[in-house]
Structure 1
Amino acid sequence: MERRAAVKNMLLALGAAVSTSTVLSILGSCTEDANTGWVSTFYDPSEFKVVDNLVDIFLPKTSIVGGKDLNLAQFVDMMSNTVLDEEKQATVKLGSKVFITRFEEKFDKKIANASKEDFEAFIALYMNIPKDKEEEVFSLLDTTDYKGLSKSKQQDYLLYTFLTTVRSYSFLGYYTSEIVEDKRMELS
C-alpha cells in the first residue's frame, strides 16, 4: 500500500491527472528484458536512444538498480504516449528534435554514434547550470504560450520541456518500482 501512496503523491507533485492504477499498469509492463524486441510507441528510434541514455544518466546504477535495469525508458515512452495530452505530446516531440539537433551540432556526429560520455557532457550544459540560470529556466517553463517567445527562447523552452518530462517520468517510475521499494525496505 505504501507504493500506491507514493505513486499518488508523485503524480500530484508532477501535476498529472492520471490514476495510480494506470501508472502501476504501465510500470508493470516494463519489467521484461529490454532486448525482447520491444518497440517504442511514442519516440522514434533516435529519440528513444536519447531517452534511454537520459534515464541512465538521471538514475545510474549504484549499489541498487538503476533506471536502465528497470527499463524505465520504456516507462517514459509509454507514459508520454498515454498520459500527455496531444499539445504536450507535440511539445515534447519538438523538444526531442531540438535536443538531437543541438547535440549533433555540438559533437559533429549523429546521435546514433554518441557515447554515454557524449550524453553526459551534453546534459551537463543544460542541467548543471548556475542558480540564476536555473531560475530563468523555471520561469521559461512557466510560460503559457511559448510560441510568443523569441526563436531561441522557443528552442530552449522545447528542450527543457523534453528534459524535464523525461526526468519526471524517470523518477516517477523509479521511486514507484516494486524492486526499488523492496530494496529501500531492506535498507531501512
Structure 2
Amino acid sequence: MDRRKALKNMGLSLGYVVATPTLLSIVQSCKTEKTLEWVPDFFTKEQGETLISLVDLILPATDTPSASELQVHLFIDKFSKEVMPKEQQDVFKTTFNAFTNTALKDSGKESPKELTSANLDMSLSKALKISKGQQKENDKAIMVYNNAIAAQNSSVVLADDVACYAFASKLRGLTIWGYKTSEYVGEKVLAYLPIPGEYIACGDVEELTQNKAWSL
C-alpha cells in the first residue's frame, strides 16, 4: 500500500485531537514560517537540524511530499513548547538526548552534526523494530517513569534502549499526526469538504468519500 492510500484509510487512530483553537493556530503558523529562517522555539538549533532529518526518515517524499516539506518539524517544535505539559517536555528532551547519544555511540561520531541520515535511520530502526513483547515491557517502564517525573521523583531512570524507544515512538506519532493535519494532506489526500453539503445518513462510505478518512 502506498502512502497516499494509507493516509486515505487512516483515521484518528493515534488518539490525538486537533480541533482546538490552540492547535489550529499552530498548524496555521507553520504554513507561513519560512523553513530556511527557522530557529526552533523548544529544541536547540542542533536538535532542530536532527529533527528535520528524523521526520524525513519517518515520512520521506514518495507520491506525497516529505514531512519537512510540509513543515512537520515546525509543528512538532511549536506543539512541544506551547501544548505539552512541563513534565512531558522534560521527558521529551531527556529521551531526545538519550537517542542522540546512543546514535553517536553506535556510529562512532562525536557531534550530532556529524550524524548522517544513514546513522539516524539505523538508530530509528534499532529503537522501533522490536518485538511486541518488548514494546509492552518498554511501555510499562515508560509509564512508571512518567509517573515518577509527575511526582518529582528523580530516583526512577530509563535504560538507554527504553529511552530511545520512548523518543522514537513519540516522534513517529507526532510526525504522522502533524503530517495528517497539514493543509496539503487535508485538501489533496483526505476527504475534504470545507462547506458541508447535504446529509446522507445511510450513504456508502466507499461511494461518498472513496473510502478516505475525513480531513479537518
Q: TM-score range by the shorter chain?
A: 0.7 to 0.9
Q: For 1:11 and 1:20, how far apart are their aligned partners in 2?
A: 18
Q: For 2:74 and 2:13, how far apart are their aligned partners in 1?
A: 18
| Partner AA of 1:83 in structure 2 | V
Task: State yes or no: 1:87 paired with 2:87.
Answer: yes
Out of 140, 151, 174, the residue aligned to residue 169 of structure 1 is: 174
- Which 5+ residue runs of structure 2 have no aligned equivalent? 1-10, 192-208, 211-216
Calculate the aligned-residue CA RMSD, in Å: 2.6
**Runs of 4 or more off by more than 3 Å in structure 1?**
9-12, 146-149, 153-161, 185-188
Check the 8 A contact 1:41/1:81 in 2, yes or no.
Answer: yes
Q: For 2:82 and 2:181, how far apart are their aligned partners in 1?
A: 18
- Normalising by structure 1, report the TM-score: 0.81
Q: Which SS does the other structure have where 1:60 is aligned?
A: coil
Task: State yes or no: 1:183 paired with 2:188.
Answer: yes
Q: For 1:87 and 1:30, how far apart are their aligned partners in 2?
A: 24
- Which 5+ residue runs of structure 1 have no aligned equivalent? 1-8
Q: CA deviation at 1:142?
A: 2.3
Q: For 1:12 and 1:23, how far apart are their aligned partners in 2?
A: 16
Q: Give the structure with higher Rg (CA).
A: 2
Check the 8 A contact 2:98/2:160 in 1, yes or no.
Answer: yes
1:28-177 to structure 2, matched below 5 A, reads 28-31=28-31, 32-35=33-36, 37-109=37-109, 110-143=111-144, 144-145=147-148, 147-149=154-156, 151=157, 153-177=158-182
Q: For 1:158 and 1:122, how far apart are their aligned partners in 2?
A: 12
Q: CA deviation at 1:72?
A: 0.8
Check the 8 A contact 2:128/2:165 in 1, yes or no.
Answer: no
Q: Which SS does the other structure have where 1:69 is aligned?
A: helix
Check the 8 A contact 1:51/1:166 in 2, yes or no.
Answer: no
Identity of aligned residues (%): 25
Higher mean Cα deviation, 116-125 or 130-139?
130-139
Tell me the matched-pair count: 175
Q: For 1:19 and 1:181, how far apart are their aligned partners in 2?
A: 13
Q: CA deviation at 1:11?
A: 9.9
Q: For 1:179 and 1:111, how far apart are their aligned partners in 2?
A: 31
| Partner AA of 2:132 in structure 1 | K
- Normalising by structure 2, report the TM-score: 0.71
Check the 8 A contact 2:179/2:185 in 1, yes or no.
Answer: yes
Check the 8 A contact 1:56/1:67 in 2, yes or no.
Answer: yes
Q: What do residues 40-78 of structure 1 show as CA deviations (whole Å, max 9, x unaligned)?
A: 000112222222122111211110112111111111011
